[in-house]
A and B are shown apart, each in its own frame.
Chain A
């Protein structure tokens, strides 16, 4: 997998546990992690003052290919990924055509290989056409070259309880997981934003927290009943965190993710009527943000996932209710987690490495990922400068789209390089 024949030493960087070490990479594999490493003929890269983490893994990415190549492609999404420190992305199934057959997931998998910047793991649809009625060819996708293990109708909720039950049972055959987009459709028909004080004033149709929480509660009970594995996508409410906490205490095999934007932004931003802040599930309140942060800190929420959702300009340059749901996430996720979790003292870098690399790799079954910086591990490394303040500029993105809600915001931590199988796929603002 590597083009580099020369060994590389990352010298003097700080690992997740706070120790300063040199990391030796040979043929795409970490061969030694120790102090004062010397290696004849190796390229030595000074990482003094920088943080080295196990390469980031995203479990929730919309790459839009096939079908909406005007907003993103597997290649541009990969470029955005490595710029954000990611070495693995999970391509959501709601493409056009939907990734509900072995053919489509293999196409996406192949496009990821061709882009070659990171691993693209396709997520398969749970139901045909993500319509929630008939199971997709889950087994064929699992057995395909793409070896799909995560299945989701994301964008739509698998709302029929019987369909959800069967899907949970079926993936036990190969240790798969159902990633549920928890949104009771009957409670959210035409909904535009979080239902509460702000929606009441703005006259935008409300999206109640209970529409999310009711599905989470139902599905953890279903997962318990059939003894299967459930993953909850983009948790947004304090009540949802409580239900997951309860389910885990009960021994139910459930994991959950939170997005960077739900850890940072609230529904107050909708007051501008600028649909750059329109997203599914919607931005919630301050109290929810606090609960999500503490849930991520104490491990109730297992991982950060971006829900990177590119859209072309015309889908956002319009009235709120006409606009598409979704916002970009890959390029600034790490900076946002640093600001909301590390700089607030809620999580240390070992915690970040767990939530953004190790745990998502375990949930996805990505055995080549999330293995930490240990001898023998593939050299997937995210290099971070924790003190490199920058301002987000929507005109300077690797993504093909520019629908970032973070435009103009300042963050202090920044990804400065990304290594994938020992190959530098991103550094200092330039692609490899």
Chain B
């Protein structure tokens, strides 16, 4: 595995290997030093052509804990906002000797283009591309689910996970559907029909338009962010109606079976797809997802850049 572009490209074995490595690396974060020398002298570029705070900081923290040099390159005030093409940016990064580029981009497929066009030779890590995928988010979600519900298993066999909300525009949902089902979980997508893509019937999931009837069977419920700009695109009548049918509130949290967890990739719209008391409830692992994100991203960087061969076993 040279790049991490899509969950579709990794095997069950590779996914488990990333999760296991993350478990090991999480221990580093608990030591006073919080640092490994593994990637000393390596240069990692955070190329964020779309605004993001948590993913960029999470990758930056992960790289720094592995002692890599990190260069941040974001849209505002950079050549990206001056109309420079992706090709020219990539060639610039190549000339500067980037060993890996972590790219967040508004265009679906931009990381794939970067990896395949030979504009640069370093590893490409997709940190979210348009409405396509967000593989590291899915890996940290799987890591979080396994930690809470895995009972010592390596994968997620038999777990029932609901993904709720704007699946149509969600890269988090696409990556999670691929990864969670790859790891043996049963995924139910819960959304109004307008926010499910045409073609979703080919996905290995169950579809439900009824959050309440799906609730009690779920081991984990993953809420998706509803972007405010969707309000005026006729996907649903208004925010109140959306919340009524597809928002997570305290009544729905109570209807979950004991032990079920509540997740959200952030940033949350409190009061829209999730109420404040649900987000802050004992079931919520939302804050923990963030800290797990650093460990999982350390594992991704470690396995891509440190030359470890274990991840290649599945190829």
A contact residues vs B (CB 8 Å cutoff): 195-206, 208, 272-274, 314, 317-322
Which residue on chain B has the smallest CB distance to residue A206? Answer: B198
B9 to chain A minimum Cβ distance, whole angstroms, is: 12
B235 within 8 A of A: no
B86 touches A320 (CB 8 A): no
A191 to chain B minimum Cβ distance, whole angstroms, is: 12
Cβ of B29: which chain A residues have Cβ within 8 Å of it? none
Cβ of A195: which chain B residues have Cβ within 8 Å of it? 198-199
Q: How far is the CA of A199 from the CA of B199 in the complex (A)?
A: 8
Cβ of A202: which chain B residues have Cβ within 8 Å of it? 108-109, 132
B97 within 8 A of A: no
B112 within 8 A of A: yes
Interface residue from A199, A203, A206 paired with B133 (Cβ < 8 Å):
A203
Chosen A-B contacts, 9 in total, with CB atoms closer than 8 Å, are A197-B202, A200-B202, A203-B174, A274-B113, A317-B85, A318-B113, A319-B86, A319-B113, A322-B86
Instruction: Give 1 or 0 for each of B71-94: 1 = CB within 8 Å of chain A CB.
Output: 000000000000001110000000
Q: How far is the CA of A203 from the CA of B87 in the complex (A)?
A: 21
8 tightest Cβ-Cβ pairs between the two chains A and B? A273-B109, A200-B199, A203-B132, A203-B131, A319-B107, A200-B197, A197-B199, A203-B108
B200 within 8 A of A: yes
A267 to chain B minimum Cβ distance, whole angstroms, is: 10
Most buried by B among A199, A203, A274: A203
A203-B133, A203-B171 are contacts. A320–B199 as well, Cβ < 8 Å?
no
Q: How far is the CA of A79 from the CA of B105 in the complex (A)?
A: 40
B116 touches A317 (CB 8 A): no
A192 to chain B minimum Cβ distance, whole angstroms, is: 8
* B-side interface residues, number (CB < 8 Å): 26
A185 to chain B minimum Cβ distance, whole angstroms, is: 15
A273-B113, A318-B87 are contacts. A204–B108 as well, Cβ < 8 Å?
yes
B117 within 8 A of A: yes
Cβ of A320: which chain B residues have Cβ within 8 Å of it? 107-109, 113
B130 within 8 A of A: yes
Q: How far is the CA of A274 from the CA of B117 in the complex (A)?
A: 9
Cβ of B86: which chain A residues have Cβ within 8 Å of it? 318-319, 322
Which residue on chain A has the smallest CB distance to residue B115? Answer: A273
Q: How far is the CA of A318 from the CA of B108 in the complex (A)?
A: 12
Cβ of B8: which chain A residues have Cβ within 8 Å of it? 201
A254 to chain B minimum Cβ distance, whole angstroms, is: 28
B85 touches A196 (CB 8 A): no
A319 touches B198 (CB 8 A): no
B contact residues vs A (CB 8 Å cutoff): 8, 85-87, 105, 107-110, 112-113, 116-117, 129-133, 171, 174, 197-200, 202-203
Q: How far is the CA of A198 from the CA of B133 in the complex (A)?
A: 14
Which residue on chain B has the smallest CB distance to residue A198? Answer: B199
A204 touches B109 (CB 8 A): yes
Cβ of B130: which chain A residues have Cβ within 8 Å of it? 203-204, 321
A315 to chain B minimum Cβ distance, whole angstroms, is: 10
Cβ of B197: which chain A residues have Cβ within 8 Å of it? 199-200, 206
B108 touches A272 (CB 8 A): no
B155 to chain A minimum Cβ distance, whole angstroms, is: 22
Cβ of A318: which chain B residues have Cβ within 8 Å of it? 85-87, 113
Q: How far is the CA of A266 from the CA of B202 in the complex (A)?
A: 17
Which residue on chain A has the smallest CB distance to residue B174? Answer: A203
Cβ of A273: which chain B residues have Cβ within 8 Å of it? 108-109, 112-113, 116
Which residue on chain B has the smallest CB distance to residue A204? Answer: B108
Interface residue from A196, A274, A319, A321 paired with B199 (Cβ < 8 Å):
A196
17 extra interchain contacts, Cβ-Cβ under 8 A, other than A200-B197, A318-B86? A196-B198, A197-B199, A199-B198, A200-B198, A201-B174, A202-B109, A203-B129, A204-B130, A206-B198, A273-B112, A274-B113, A274-B116, A320-B107, A320-B113, A321-B108, A321-B109, A322-B86
Q: How far is the CA of A321 from the CA of B108 in the complex (A)?
A: 8
Q: How far is the CA of A157 from the CA of B56 in the complex (A)?
A: 42
Cβ of B129: which chain A residues have Cβ within 8 Å of it? 203
Q: How far is the CA of A202 from the CA of B197 in the complex (A)?
A: 11
Q: How far is the CA of A176 from the CA of B8 in the complex (A)?
A: 52
A74 to chain B minimum Cβ distance, whole angstroms, is: 29
Cβ of B132: which chain A residues have Cβ within 8 Å of it? 202-204
B199 touches A201 (CB 8 A): yes
Cβ of A197: which chain B residues have Cβ within 8 Å of it? 199, 202
Q: How far is the CA of A273 from the CA of B114 in the complex (A)?
A: 11
A321 touches B107 (CB 8 A): yes
Q: How far is the CA of A196 from the CA of B153 in the complex (A)?
A: 36
A205 to chain B minimum Cβ distance, whole angstroms, is: 8
Q: How far is the CA of A203 from the CA of B178 in the complex (A)?
A: 13
B128 to chain A minimum Cβ distance, whole angstroms, is: 11
A169 to chain B minimum Cβ distance, whole angstroms, is: 34
Which residue on chain A has the smallest CB distance to residue B85? Answer: A318
Q: How far is the CA of A29 from the CA of B171 in the complex (A)?
A: 63
Q: How far is the CA of A317 from the CA of B86 in the complex (A)?
A: 9
Which residue on chain B has the smallest CB distance to residue A314? Answer: B85
Cβ of A199: which chain B residues have Cβ within 8 Å of it? 197-199
Which residue on chain A has the smallest CB distance to residue B129? Answer: A203
Most buried by B among A200, A206, A319: A319
Q: How far is the CA of A314 from the CA of B85 in the complex (A)?
A: 9
Which residue on chain A has the smallest CB distance to residue B130? Answer: A203
Which residue on chain B has the smallest CB distance to residue A200? Answer: B199
Q: How far is the CA of A321 from the CA of B112 in the complex (A)?
A: 13
Cβ of B113: which chain A residues have Cβ within 8 Å of it? 273-274, 318-320
Which residue on chain B has the smallest CB distance to residue A205? Answer: B131
